[in-house]
Amino acid sequence: MNNISQISIFDYREIENLGDLERLKIFFENIDDKKLCKKLESAGKNGRNDYPVRTMLNLIYAMKIFGHRSVESFRRELSRNSQLRIACGLNEGKYKYCRERKHLVPPARVFTGFLNKLKNCKQEIEEIFEELVKFMYDKLDGFGEDCAIDGKFLDTYAKPYEKEKCKDNRADHEASHSCKTYQMKDRTTKKEWHYGYRAHIICDAKYGLPIKSKVTPANNSEQIELDNILEEMYNNEEKYKLEKMKNRI
């Protein structure tokens, strides 16, 4: 793999000429997730270390960046793509205690367990995102001046949660039903039902990069949630401006 560490993360013309693995490497080099990694390692320090935290984090990043909608789809990609395995840190052969690795690609249960651990790291994940947004404000001219707002349904394919019937994790305990009504050209209405969640997103209109986002059950009001996000953004922006002023003094 070529040495690409000197390429700017915002030099799109250069990045577009790179392959997927090179772009993934740039992402690994530019994300500061040491605090998140440390918390995850501390939580699992007394367990087995067949697949280290750093490797699993890299795998989750790669799964999302490459657009895999399911763990099984990503596992199939890992099985046939040795370069991707190596880039994420899945070294073939032996692991801790010098035992032979039983599974070249982590089983689905390993991904499930790791994703469940990530649910307890919401604060650390939000801090990573906020630091990246601050970086955008510092490095991109006019970032945040023109914004776009939208909401999007995120459908879940899990079974609806029924307290009397579902007593395990096979059902989605937090999703909800929602209906969106469309006004047609012939003045009739069309209803579209969703079960799952809704993403409320504010992004920079010039660069197409996210500034703030929130995921709620699908039946939460889009207008109310966006108003809350705007208020949070205003408070954070004022705080950020004060920090910049203090740094200049």
Contact 196, 173 (CB under 8 A): no
pLDDT band at 92 (very low <50, low <70, confident <90, very high): low
d(CA 155, CA 193): 10
Using DSSP's 3-state secondary structure scheme, residue 136 falls into: helix
In this predicted structure, the answer to whether residue 76 has a pLDDT above a threshold of 60 is yes
- For residue 117 the two structure tokens come to 């651990």
Q: Residue 193 carries which side chain, given as an amino acid letter?
A: W
Write out pLDDT tens, residues 212-238.
Answer: 889 999 999 888 988 888 888 777 665
d(CA 113, CA 75): 15
In this predicted structure, the answer to whether residue 10 has a pLDDT above a threshold of 80 is no
pLDDT band at 40 (very low <50, low <70, confident <90, very high): very high
Q: Between 27 and 247, name the one with better pLDDT.
A: 27
- For residue 136 the two structure tokens come to 């955008």
Residues whose CB falls within 8 Å of the CB of residue 96, separated by 6 or more in sequence, listed in order: 48, 49, 50
Write out pLDDT tens, residues 144-195.
Answer: 888 888 888 888 877 776 655 656 666 777 888 898 888 888 888 889 898 9
Q: Between 167 and 248, name the one with better pLDDT.
A: 167
Any bridge partners for residue 179, and if so which?
A: 193
In this predicted structure, the answer to whether residue 114 has a pLDDT above a threshold of 70 is yes
Average pLDDT for 112-126: 92
In this predicted structure, the answer to whether residue 14 has a pLDDT above a threshold of 90 is no
Mean pLDDT value across the chain: 81
d(CA 90, CA 77): 13
pLDDT band at 48 (very low <50, low <70, confident <90, very high): low
Residues whose CB falls within 8 Å of the CB of residue 61, separated by 6 or more in sequence, listed in order: 24, 27, 28, 31
Report which listed range, 78-82, 100-104, 130-134, 242-246, is most confident.
78-82
Write out pLDDT tens, residues 200-212.
Answer: 999 988 888 888 8
Report pLDDT for 20.
Answer: 81
Of the listed ranges 36-45, 59-68, 121-130, the least confidently predicted one is: 36-45
Give Cα separations from 99 to 50, 93, 94, 201 (angstroms). Answer: 10, 9, 6, 46
